[in-house]
């Protein structure tokens, strides 16, 4: 992925609020996964519910190790998740407690390694990454359960979703749109949240250059903050959003997968 030198303000959501949201979503993720460890997760086709818990708990341990050391850490050197589901929940809970303790005790603006494409090396970057990662995977496992008779997934918290939209647009989208296999994503795009502040104008022809702005665009996508984030990350049915203008962007957005 190409790296970018621009620096864009992080979400105004306080790191402590992001960590609290992550803790709540992580608990809901586990509670749903435990109802059927073998349940497939459609938006994470490589994993069933147990696999998603192993992945997410591993991410917790990885983040904690990075912020503790301040340096890049290979996931290969970390203790693996239990293969037996009997011990999986306890391992996941301990991994969650570890990352919340490490991130919660670190000064948000202290420096550490990150994989930011904009050069942001602050601990608060990981607070946002944790909250967004957990919220989306909580939605994933609840969506999977809903196909088997459970209630539908709860929306992503609006503030976390706004932070996730910002992260996706600023950190990931510029690299995604320049991939060789991506086609028919051109012109300008306006993302407009209908339930709170989150509005972005993006030039897809200029490495997805983005700015916080209300302005006319070739394509406009309007939805709640949660639905905008889910749409950006190829989740949720398209009928949860309004697409105005050039429909080709929405039609071909599924090409952008991280």
pLDDT per residue over 189-210, tens digit each? 999 999 988 999 999 999 899 9
- CB atoms under 10 Å from CB of 12, counted, come to 11
pLDDT value for 11: 58
Residue 220's H or E segment, with its range, is strand 219-223
For residue 27 the two structure tokens come to 């608990």
Does the pLDDT value for residue 2 go beyond 70? no
pLDDT exceeds 60 at position 7 = no
* Nearest C-alpha neighbor of 194 from the set 237, 119, 244: 244
Q: Which of 13-22, 65-74, 88-97, 149-158 has the lowest mean pLDDT?
A: 149-158
Whether the per-residue pLDDT at 95 is higher than 60: the answer is: yes
Average per-residue pLDDT in the chain? 92
- Predicted local distance difference test score (pLDDT) of residue 181: 87
The sign one gets for the Cα dihedral 173, 17, 134, 136 is: negative
pLDDT at 227 over 70: yes
Ranges 86-90, 194-198, 220-224: which has the least confidence = 194-198
| Share of residues in the chain with pLDDT > 70 (%) | 95
- What would the pLDDT profile of 52-69 be if each residue is shown by its tens digit? 999 999 999 999 999 999
* pLDDT > 80? residue 119: yes
What per-residue confidence (pLDDT) applies to 258?
Answer: 61
CB 115 within 8 A of CB 101: no
CATH class, 158-255 region: alpha beta
What residue spans define the domains of the chain? Answer: 15-146, 158-255
CA distances to 170, 206, 240 from 201, rounded to whole Å, are 11, 12, 20
Please name the helix (run of DSSP H) or strand (run of DSSP E) that holds residue 94, with its range, or none. Answer: helix 88-105
The more confidently predicted of residues 9 and 244 is: 244
Architecture of the structural domain at 15-146? Up-down Bundle (1.20)
Band of residue 13 on the pLDDT scale cut at 50, 70, 90: confident
- What is residue 238's predicted lDDT score, i.e. its pLDDT? 73
């Amino acid at each position: 992925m190409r790296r970018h030198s621009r620096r864009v303000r992080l979400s105004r959501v306080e790191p402590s609020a992001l960590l609290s949201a992550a803790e709540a979503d992580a608990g809901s993720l586990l509670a749903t996964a435990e109802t059927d460890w073998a349940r497939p997760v459609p938006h994470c086709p490589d994993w069933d519910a147990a696999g998603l818990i192993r992945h997410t708990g591993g991410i917790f341990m990885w983040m904690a190790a990075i912020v503790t050391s301040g340096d890049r850490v290979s996931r290969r050197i970390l203790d693996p998740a239990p293969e037996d589901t009997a011990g999986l929940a306890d391992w996941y809970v301990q991994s969650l407690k570890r990352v919340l303790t490490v991130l919660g005790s670190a000064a948000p603006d202290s420096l550490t390694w990150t994989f930011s494409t904009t050069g942001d090396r602050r601990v608060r970057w990981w607070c946002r990454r944790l909250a967004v990662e957990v919220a989306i995977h909580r939605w994933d496992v609840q969506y999977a359960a809903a196909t088997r008779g459970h209630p539908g997934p709860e929306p992503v918290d609006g503030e976390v979703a706004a932070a996730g939209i910002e992260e996706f647009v600023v950190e990931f989208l510029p690299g995604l749109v320049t991939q060789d296999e991506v086609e028919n994503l051109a012109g300008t795009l306006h993302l407009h949240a209908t339930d709170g502040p989150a509005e972005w104008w993006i030039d897809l022809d200029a490495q997805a250059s983005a700015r916080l702005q209300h302005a006319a665009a070739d394509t406009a996508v309007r939805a709640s903050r949660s639905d905008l984030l889910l749409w950006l990350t190829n989740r949720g049915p398209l009928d949860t959003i309004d697409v105005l203008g050039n429909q080709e962007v929405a039609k071909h957005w599924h090409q952008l997968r991280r």
